[in-house]
Amino acid sequence: MLDAQPYRTVVADPPWQPKMAITNGGAPKASPQLRYNTMSVPEIIALRPKLADQAHVYIWAVAQHVDWAYDVASAWGAEPIILLTWKKPGVGTGHFQCNTEHVLVARKGNRIGNPFGQGGRHAPATNGTLFEWPRARHSEKPREFFDLVERLSPSPRLEMYARGPRDGWTVWGNQSIGAPSADMAKARSGVHPRDAAAIAAAEAAISRATGGEE
């Protein structure tokens, strides 16, 4: 499914694997590993979507390692353009009560004929880079973000690590109707990507996430 067609727009919300603080009991504190199966950066890079020659890529990052999103975008052949910030209502948890998340916007190919939005290269794509959107379920990104993407970026569109179906999009992920195992099989045959070790690691991670079921 990741290479079913050349996608003009890809949104990825990877299950990053950050190192978290350890409580006195020895369990990760506020760790995503407690909520869902996570993947390393090489595993995420290995699940490379098929991008059109001109494409837009949006990669959600974790605050501790925004650099990982830049690594993935570059590995997928996209040039980082800007970082957008989602400010959530109220305050968050932790020492800094973090209430923001960040998404890296990147572009593949020449910017000519490949703008963000319909106003041309001299028109602003957004009114700033800070967005106050409501919260949704844990780790779920707001509908308003996808409304923004649909306004700025062309179809066909792919959502990776999706939480469910989305009208007008191809969705892929363990919590959606996509089929990760099928993409692993295609990756093995050399369709994408070319790093066999990373592919094997990604396949193992998908197997863990699905309980070893196809």
Q: How many structural domains compose the chain?
A: 1
CB contact at 8 A, 16 and 68:
yes
DSSP 152: H
Q: Which residues of 177-199 are buried (b: 16+ CB within 10 A; e: fewer)?
A: ebebeebbeebeeeebbeeeebb
Q: Cα(58)–Cα(116) distance, rounded to whole angstroms?
A: 12
1 located within any domain: no
* Rg for the chain, CA atoms, rounded: 17
Say what the pLDDT of residue 202 is: 56
2 located within any domain: no
Can you point out the beta strands (E) in the chain?
A: 7-12, 51-61, 79-87, 100-108, 130-132, 157-160, 169-172
Q: Backbone phi, then psi, for 197, in 5-degree steps? A: -65, -40
pLDDT tier, 13 (very low <50, low <70, confident <90, very high otherwise)? very high
123 located within any domain: yes
Q: Mind listing the pLDDT tens digit for each residue in 42-87?
A: 999 999 999 999 999 999 999 999 999 999 999 999 999 999 999 9
Could you tell me the CATH number of the domain that includes residue 201?
3.40.50
28 located within any domain: yes
pLDDT tier, 29 (very low <50, low <70, confident <90, very high otherwise)? low
Q: Cα(16)–Cα(18) distance, rounded to whole angstroms?
A: 6
Containing structural domain, residue 81: 7-209
154 located within any domain: yes
Q: Cα(59)–Cα(174) distance, rounded to whole angstroms?
A: 18
Q: Tokens 């190192």 correspond to what residue?
A: 19
Classify the C-alpha dihedral 139-144-147-152 as positive or negative. Answer: negative
Task: Report the DSSP beta bridge partners of residue 84.
Answer: 103
Say what the pLDDT of residue 12 is: 98
Q: Cα(166)–Cα(133) distance, rounded to whole angstroms?
A: 19
- The C-alpha torsion from 101 through 94 and 88 to 141, rounded to 10°, is 50
Q: Mind listing the pLDDT tens digit for each residue in 93-137?
A: 888 999 999 999 999 999 999 999 987 677 899 999 999 999 987
214 located within any domain: no
82 located within any domain: yes
CB contact at 8 A, 183 and 191:
no
DSSP helix/strand/coil, 116: coil
Mean of all residue pLDDT scores within the chain = 82
